[in-house]
Amino acid sequence: MTKVRYWLSKGRESLFSTLPIAIVVIIFFLFQKFAFSTAFQPQFLISDSEFFTFLIATASVVVGMGLFSVGTEQSMTDIGQIIGGSLMQKKNLFFVLAMTFILGVLVTIAEPDLAVLSGQIGINSIVIIVTIGLGVGLFLVVGVSRVFSKKNLNMFFLAFYGLVFMLAYVINPRFLPICFDAGGVTTGPVTVPFLLGFGVGLAASHGGKNSEDAFGLTALCSVGPIIAVIIIAWIMKLTGNDLPNTYTPAVFGTDMGQNIAHGLIESSKNVALSIGPILIFFLIYDRIFVKLPGKTIFRIVNGMIVTYIGLVLFLSAVQYGFLPIASKVGQGFGSDGKFLPLALIIGTLFGVFGVLAEPAVHVLVQQIEDVTEGNIKKIHVLITLAVSIGVAVALTLIRAYFQFDIMYYLIPGYIIAFALSFFVSPITTASAFDSGGVASGPMTSTFILPYCLGFSFARGQDVYLYGFGLVALVAMMPLVVLQGLGVVDIIHRNIRLSQARKRIVEPNDAQVIHFDFENVEVA
């Protein structure tokens, strides 16, 4: 009965994650069909068959995300924790770093958010995914090396993000938003459970579960993809290649049944190629170095099978239903400037509800409350995080409407984030940077990003310059707001400490001997 309740709870989480988006699409469909259809250009109308396809895709996403969530908790998190704890016990540093690199590459290649983003860029998806996987593997090695060397995490962030902003200006500006988006989508529903488990395994073998070692791996692995895509852009610039001149939005196919079947078949093959190597690597590693009980192995293998089924349902539904409908809704709001206020409201709600319904976010805010010993309440973190992500979506649409460089957001944002890092504890900084990757969950890349791309496309703009960049802002906002909460917590703590001292300290507390002259009897 407990297992049934557990599965049902994951199903509810998936339903609540998808329901707000489905409701908005339903309202949009009814709005353009029965009320003000003449206000929209014909090419942005949602037909009855497209709407029905979206409803099927929504059901598939709900089931797929639920199964995927159950499967990753029974497999990816455990694999990360087992290997992370095992590696820290090895004496051979080269072996530890080599295994870490391989794991980072394999887990990234299996990341569904990355597959969704790479399919929307317009260049070879395999090149993008493999290069980003190499970037994540390299920076996972950097993160593990930091744990061994006990170096300050904040210095790593300063050095690598400084390098990113210096390299950003040697590439085609059209690539910049994609570079920063790559850093956000890489830490998705496959990578985050693995990295969190891997970090806990490292910390348990090195400094305790609440040590700084338990945080920061996700954040460091977000920097690697940015640098990797910058390298791709630089090579393309040197060889005379470039992004496509025009962006092609996702569209519905003409035959609904054929599209669904094609999506399922393609996703089945792609998911097998992405998560299969992880399972094979783990089974070989366990047989040689760990030798877990058969019951544990069976549970992990069963979890990977559930993960596979859920991921196939999820990715196929995204391709044949979610991406096209999100693009159409965005195009509908972007087709006329008078819809900008409505587009901002809807986009903000997408961001807020997407974060509130993201299971990984709830895990993260609980960790923050535990690490701060209850001084920062998880409800405060959750509300602040949700509002900030909603604002990030609105800022993306404003940038798409007025057409200005994304660096006007990113440079001040990261300056503020790094300035705040000198006033809060290292764990607060590490958890804030980790939260940037966690906040950019599945709905960000599968629905909100194509919504913004569709909005920019309808405005007749260069989508690569002004449409991409949403994930970058979603990943940046938590760095500022969560460290800001940390500063507020320090201020409140100091105020309470000062008040407590005033209650305890007596007026003449500096005296060594106290004389009670009031009660002295005069002879």
DSSP letters, 405-430, are: -THHHHHHHHHHHHHHHTTS-HHHHH
Task: Provide the pLDDT for residue 204.
Answer: 62
Domain assignment present for 506: no
Per the structure block, which two tokens stand in for 487? Answer: 């500063």
What phi and psi values does residue 507 have, to the nearest 5 degrees?
Answer: -55, -40
Domain assignment present for 1: no
Say if residues 13 and 310 touch (Cβ distance below 8 Å). Answer: no
Low-confidence residues in the chain, pLDDT < 50: 1, 37, 39-43, 208-211
Domain assignment present for 461: yes
Residue 272 DSSP code: H
Based on the structure, what is the number of domains in the chain? 1
Domain assignment present for 505: no
Sole residue written with tokens 């891997």: 198
Q: From CA 74, how far away is CA 450, in angstroms rounded? A: 31
Task: Provide the pLDDT for residue 368.
Answer: 67
DSSP H or E segment with residue 307: helix 294-317
> Pick from 101, 93, 178, 87: which is nearest to 136 by CA?
101
Q: From CA 416, how far away is CA 307, in angstroms rounded? A: 38
> Which residues span the domain enclosing 122?
7-37+48-500
DSSP symbols for 2-70: HHHHHHHHHHHHHHHHHHHHHHHHHHHHHIIIII-GGGS-GGGPPPHHHHHHHHHHHHHHHHHHHHHHH
Domain assignment present for 484: yes
Q: From CA 129, how far away is CA 229, in angstroms rounded? A: 10
Domain assignment present for 78: yes
Domain assignment present for 124: yes
Q: From CA 373, how far away is CA 86, in angstroms rounded? A: 29
Write out 118-180 in H/E/C secondary structure.
HHHHCCCHHHHHHHHHHHHHHHHHHHHHHHHHCCCHHHHHHHHHHHHHHHHHHCCHHHHHHHH
Task: Provide the pLDDT for residue 408.
Answer: 92
Domain assignment present for 442: yes
> Pick from 23, 336, 303, 337: which is nearest to 190 by CA?
303
Task: Provide the pLDDT for residue 399.
Answer: 92
